[in-house]
Structure 1
Amino acid sequence: MPYRQEPIVDDSNLLRQLGDTLRTHREQNGKSQDALANDSGLHRTYVGAVERGERNPTYLTLVKYARGLGMTVTDLVTGL
Structure 2
Amino acid sequence: MPFATPSPLRRVFAQRVRAERKRLGISQEELADRAQVHRTFVGAVERAETNISIDNIGRISDALGVNAADLMVSPSE
- For the Cα contact (< 8 Å) 2:13–2:73, is it kept in 1? no
Deviations 1:17-72 (A, max 9, x none): 32112111111111110000000101110000010010011111110001111122
Larger radius of gyration: 1
Taking structure 1 as the reference length, the TM-score comes to: 0.76
Taking structure 2 as the reference length, the TM-score comes to: 0.79
Q: What's the % identity of the aligned pairs?
A: 33
Query: Cα RMSD between the aligned structures?
Result: 1.9
Q: Structure 1: 5+ residue runs without aligned partners?
A: 1-10
Q: Of residues 2, 19, 24 in structure 2, which corresponds to 1:29?
A: 24
Q: Structure 2: 5+ residue runs without aligned partners?
A: none
Residue in structure 2 matched with residue 12 of structure 1 by the alignment:
6
Q: Give me the whole-angstrom Cα distance separating, in 1, the residues matched to 2:12 and 2:70.
A: 15
